Protein backbone atom coordinates (compact mmCIF):
# COMPACT_ATOMS: atom_id res chain seq x y z
CA UNK A 1 0.00 0.00 0.00
CA UNK A 2 1.26 3.45 -0.87
CA UNK A 3 1.38 6.57 1.29
CA UNK A 4 -1.92 8.44 1.42
CA UNK A 5 -2.33 11.90 -0.08
CA UNK A 6 -5.57 13.50 1.14
CA UNK A 7 -6.85 17.07 0.93
CA UNK A 8 -10.20 18.59 1.88
CA UNK A 9 -10.84 21.82 -0.04
CA UNK A 10 -13.65 24.31 0.61
CA UNK A 11 -15.38 25.95 -2.36
CA UNK A 12 -15.24 29.74 -2.43
CA UNK A 13 -12.12 29.67 -0.31
CA UNK A 14 -9.61 26.97 -1.23
CA UNK A 15 -10.83 26.85 -4.83
CA UNK A 16 -13.31 28.89 -6.88
CA UNK A 17 -12.40 31.86 -4.68
CA UNK A 18 -14.73 34.79 -5.28
CA UNK A 19 -17.41 32.66 -6.94
CA UNK A 20 -20.59 33.69 -5.15
CA UNK A 21 -22.42 30.39 -5.76
CA UNK A 22 -19.43 28.37 -4.57
CA UNK A 23 -19.12 30.60 -1.52
CA UNK A 24 -22.81 30.26 -0.72
CA UNK A 25 -22.97 26.50 -1.20
CA UNK A 26 -19.84 25.70 0.89
CA UNK A 27 -19.13 22.46 -0.95
CA UNK A 28 -16.11 20.38 -0.14
CA UNK A 29 -14.03 18.77 -2.88
CA UNK A 30 -11.44 16.14 -2.05
CA UNK A 31 -8.13 15.05 -3.52
CA UNK A 32 -7.09 11.48 -2.71
CA UNK A 33 -3.95 9.81 -3.95
CA UNK A 34 -0.70 7.96 -3.46
CA UNK A 35 2.41 10.02 -2.75
CA UNK A 36 4.62 7.22 -4.07
CA UNK A 37 3.01 6.77 -7.49
CA UNK A 38 1.94 10.46 -7.57
CA UNK A 39 -1.51 9.41 -8.83
CA UNK A 40 -4.68 11.00 -7.48
CA UNK A 41 -8.45 11.21 -7.92
CA UNK A 42 -10.71 14.18 -7.28
CA UNK A 43 -14.08 13.90 -5.54
CA UNK A 44 -16.87 16.20 -6.80
CA UNK A 45 -14.96 18.75 -8.93
CA UNK A 46 -17.62 21.45 -9.37
CA UNK A 47 -17.25 25.23 -9.83
CA UNK A 48 -13.56 25.46 -10.78
CA UNK A 49 -12.05 22.10 -11.77
CA UNK A 50 -8.99 23.88 -13.13
CA UNK A 51 -8.20 25.16 -9.64
CA UNK A 52 -8.26 21.61 -8.33
CA UNK A 53 -5.95 20.44 -11.11
CA UNK A 54 -3.62 23.30 -10.24
CA UNK A 55 -3.49 22.13 -6.62
CA UNK A 56 -2.51 18.67 -7.80
CA UNK A 57 0.12 20.07 -10.14
CA UNK A 58 1.61 22.19 -7.34
CA UNK A 59 1.87 19.03 -5.25
CA UNK A 60 3.45 17.11 -8.15
CA UNK A 61 0.43 14.82 -8.35
CA UNK A 62 -1.24 13.49 -11.53
CA UNK A 63 -4.99 13.14 -11.93
CA UNK A 64 -6.07 9.60 -12.87
CA UNK A 65 -9.78 9.65 -12.10
CA UNK A 66 -12.88 11.28 -10.68
CA UNK A 67 -15.19 9.99 -7.96
CA UNK A 68 -18.68 11.52 -8.07
CA UNK A 69 -20.79 11.22 -4.93
CA UNK A 70 -24.00 12.05 -6.85
CA UNK A 71 -25.37 14.01 -9.80
CA UNK A 72 -26.35 17.39 -8.34
CA UNK A 73 -24.75 20.33 -10.17
CA UNK A 74 -22.94 21.67 -7.10
CA UNK A 75 -20.99 18.42 -7.12
CA UNK A 76 -20.49 17.62 -10.83
CA UNK A 77 -21.40 20.83 -12.66
CA UNK A 78 -24.48 21.82 -14.65
CA UNK A 79 -27.29 24.35 -14.34
CA UNK A 80 -28.44 25.38 -10.87
CA UNK A 81 -30.33 28.44 -9.63
CA UNK A 82 -29.96 30.03 -13.06
CA UNK A 83 -26.18 29.60 -13.10
CA UNK A 84 -24.05 27.36 -15.31
CA UNK A 85 -21.58 25.63 -13.02
CA UNK A 86 -18.38 24.18 -14.43
CA UNK A 87 -17.50 20.68 -13.36
CA UNK A 88 -16.90 17.34 -15.04
CA UNK A 89 -17.15 18.72 -18.57
CA UNK A 90 -14.46 21.34 -18.00
CA UNK A 91 -12.25 18.89 -16.14
CA UNK A 92 -12.39 16.27 -18.90
CA UNK A 93 -11.39 18.91 -21.43
CA UNK A 94 -8.09 19.15 -19.57
CA UNK A 95 -7.64 15.56 -18.42
CA UNK A 96 -9.24 12.50 -20.00
CA UNK A 97 -9.76 10.27 -16.98
CA UNK A 98 -12.43 7.80 -15.81
CA UNK A 99 -15.43 9.21 -13.95
CA UNK A 100 -16.63 6.66 -11.42
CA UNK A 101 -20.38 6.68 -10.70
CA UNK A 102 -22.97 4.20 -9.54
CA UNK A 103 -24.77 2.64 -12.51
CA UNK A 104 -28.18 3.83 -11.28
CA UNK A 105 -26.82 7.39 -11.22
CA UNK A 106 -25.39 7.32 -14.75
CA UNK A 107 -28.39 8.74 -16.62
CA UNK A 108 -28.75 11.52 -14.05
CA UNK A 109 -25.06 12.47 -14.31
CA UNK A 110 -25.17 12.43 -18.11
CA UNK A 111 -28.30 14.59 -18.22
CA UNK A 112 -27.00 17.17 -15.75
CA UNK A 113 -23.48 17.48 -17.18
CA UNK A 114 -24.05 16.76 -20.87
CA UNK A 115 -21.47 13.98 -20.82
CA UNK A 116 -21.97 10.87 -22.91
CA UNK A 117 -22.58 7.58 -21.09
CA UNK A 118 -19.30 6.36 -22.56
CA UNK A 119 -17.51 9.03 -20.50
CA UNK A 120 -18.62 7.31 -17.28
CA UNK A 121 -17.20 4.25 -15.52
CA UNK A 122 -20.10 2.45 -13.89
CA UNK A 123 -20.16 0.52 -10.63
CA UNK A 124 -22.78 -1.91 -9.37
CA UNK A 125 -23.16 -1.49 -5.62
CA UNK A 126 -20.02 -1.59 -3.52
CA UNK A 127 -16.64 -1.84 -5.23
CA UNK A 128 -13.03 -0.74 -4.92
CA UNK A 129 -11.06 1.79 -6.97
CA UNK A 130 -7.30 1.66 -6.50
CA UNK A 131 -5.23 4.81 -6.92
CA UNK A 132 -1.59 3.86 -7.05
CA UNK A 133 -1.40 1.55 -4.06
CA UNK A 134 -4.33 3.18 -2.22
CA UNK A 135 -7.63 1.24 -2.20
CA UNK A 136 -10.79 3.35 -1.99
CA UNK A 137 -14.03 1.56 -1.12
CA UNK A 138 -17.07 2.83 -2.98
CA UNK A 139 -20.15 2.42 -0.78
CA UNK A 140 -23.54 2.68 -2.48
CA UNK A 141 -25.67 4.79 -0.12
CA UNK A 142 -28.99 5.69 -1.79
CA UNK A 143 -31.41 8.12 -0.23
CA UNK A 144 -30.35 11.62 -1.25
CA UNK A 145 -30.27 10.32 -4.83
CA UNK A 146 -30.63 6.76 -6.15
CA UNK A 147 -26.91 6.39 -6.86
CA UNK A 148 -25.36 8.39 -4.06
CA UNK A 149 -22.08 6.89 -2.94
CA UNK A 150 -19.55 7.45 -0.17
CA UNK A 151 -15.84 6.68 -0.16
CA UNK A 152 -13.91 4.93 2.59
CA UNK A 153 -10.14 5.27 2.53
CA UNK A 154 -7.60 4.71 5.29
CA UNK A 155 -9.82 5.65 8.23
CA UNK A 156 -11.61 8.47 6.40
CA UNK A 157 -15.23 8.45 5.22
CA UNK A 158 -15.95 10.94 2.43
CA UNK A 159 -19.70 11.05 2.92
CA UNK A 160 -20.97 13.38 0.19
CA UNK A 161 -24.52 14.54 0.84
CA UNK A 162 -25.52 11.31 2.56
CA UNK A 163 -24.19 12.22 6.00
CA UNK A 164 -23.21 15.63 7.35
CA UNK A 165 -21.76 16.27 10.79
CA UNK A 166 -25.19 17.66 11.61
CA UNK A 167 -28.11 16.33 9.61
CA UNK A 168 -28.17 14.41 6.35
CA UNK A 169 -28.95 15.03 2.71
CA UNK A 170 -32.45 16.04 1.67
CA UNK A 171 -34.78 13.37 0.33
CA UNK A 172 -37.36 15.65 -1.29
CA UNK A 173 -35.45 16.17 -4.54
CA UNK A 174 -36.23 13.93 -7.55
CA UNK A 175 -34.93 10.45 -6.83
CA UNK A 176 -34.81 10.98 -3.07
CA UNK A 177 -36.01 8.19 -0.79
CA UNK A 178 -36.37 8.72 2.95
CA UNK A 179 -36.48 5.00 3.81
CA UNK A 180 -33.38 4.34 1.71
CA UNK A 181 -31.67 7.24 3.49
CA UNK A 182 -32.41 5.67 6.86
CA UNK A 183 -30.89 2.37 5.75
CA UNK A 184 -27.80 4.11 4.34
CA UNK A 185 -27.30 6.12 7.53
CA UNK A 186 -27.59 3.00 9.65
CA UNK A 187 -25.01 1.34 7.49
CA UNK A 188 -22.57 4.25 7.71
CA UNK A 189 -23.16 4.60 11.43
CA UNK A 190 -22.12 1.00 11.99
CA UNK A 191 -18.83 1.16 10.09
CA UNK A 192 -15.97 -0.33 12.06
CA UNK A 193 -12.89 1.55 13.20
CA UNK A 194 -14.46 4.95 13.96
CA UNK A 195 -13.49 6.60 10.65
CA UNK A 196 -13.37 10.37 10.42
CA UNK A 197 -16.40 11.76 8.59
CA UNK A 198 -15.65 14.24 5.79
CA UNK A 199 -18.96 15.67 4.50
CA UNK A 200 -19.95 17.13 1.14
CA UNK A 201 -20.72 20.58 2.60
CA UNK A 202 -19.48 22.62 5.53
CA UNK A 203 -22.77 22.94 7.38
CA UNK A 204 -21.13 22.86 10.82
CA UNK A 205 -18.26 24.65 12.52
CA UNK A 206 -15.94 21.66 12.29
CA UNK A 207 -14.97 20.46 8.81
CA UNK A 208 -14.74 16.82 9.90
CA UNK A 209 -15.29 14.68 13.00
CA UNK A 210 -14.94 11.07 14.21
CA UNK A 211 -17.92 8.91 13.36
CA UNK A 212 -18.62 8.07 17.00
CA UNK A 213 -18.95 11.80 17.75
CA UNK A 214 -21.27 12.24 14.78
CA UNK A 215 -23.42 9.34 15.94
CA UNK A 216 -23.63 10.87 19.41
CA UNK A 217 -24.52 14.42 18.35
CA UNK A 218 -26.31 14.14 15.00
CA UNK A 219 -30.10 14.08 15.27
CA UNK A 220 -30.46 11.72 12.30
CA UNK A 221 -29.22 8.87 14.50
CA UNK A 222 -31.85 9.41 17.22
CA UNK A 223 -34.75 7.50 15.58
CA UNK A 224 -34.73 3.85 16.62
CA UNK A 225 -36.51 2.54 13.54
CA UNK A 226 -37.24 3.36 9.92
CA UNK A 227 -40.78 4.31 10.92
CA UNK A 228 -39.52 6.84 13.49
CA UNK A 229 -37.05 8.22 10.94
CA UNK A 230 -39.80 8.69 8.33
CA UNK A 231 -41.98 10.48 10.87
CA UNK A 232 -39.12 12.77 11.89
CA UNK A 233 -37.50 13.44 8.52
CA UNK A 234 -40.02 12.37 5.88
CA UNK A 235 -41.28 14.83 3.32
Distance of CA 48 to the CA centre of its chain: 16
- Per residue in 34-44, is it b (16+ CB within 10 Å) or e — as a string? bbebbbbbbbb
- What pLDDT digit, counting tens, does each position of 119-151 carry? 999 999 999 999 999 999 999 999 999 999 999
Q: What is the pTM of this model?
A: 0.97
- Give residue 225's domain range: 4-233
Q: Which CATH number characterizes residue 38's domain? A: 3.60.15.10
Q: What is the mean pLDDT of the chain?
A: 96
Integer Cα distance of 115 and 119 in angstroms: 6
- What pLDDT digit, counting tens, does each position of 25-71 carry? 999 999 999 999 999 999 999 999 999 999 999 999 999 999 999 99
Sheet holding 39-43, edge to edge: 4-10, 28-34, 39-43, 62-67, 99-102, 120-123
Number of domains in the chain: 1
Task: Measure the CA angle with vertex 101, ends 162 and 15; round to 5°.
Answer: 70
Amino acid sequence: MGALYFKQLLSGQDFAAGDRVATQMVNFAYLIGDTESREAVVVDPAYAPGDLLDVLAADDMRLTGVLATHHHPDHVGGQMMGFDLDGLTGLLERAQVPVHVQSVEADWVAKVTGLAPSDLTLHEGDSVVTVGGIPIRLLHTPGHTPGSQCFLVDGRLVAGDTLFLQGCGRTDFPGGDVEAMYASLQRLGSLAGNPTVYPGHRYSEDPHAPLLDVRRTNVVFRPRSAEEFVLAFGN
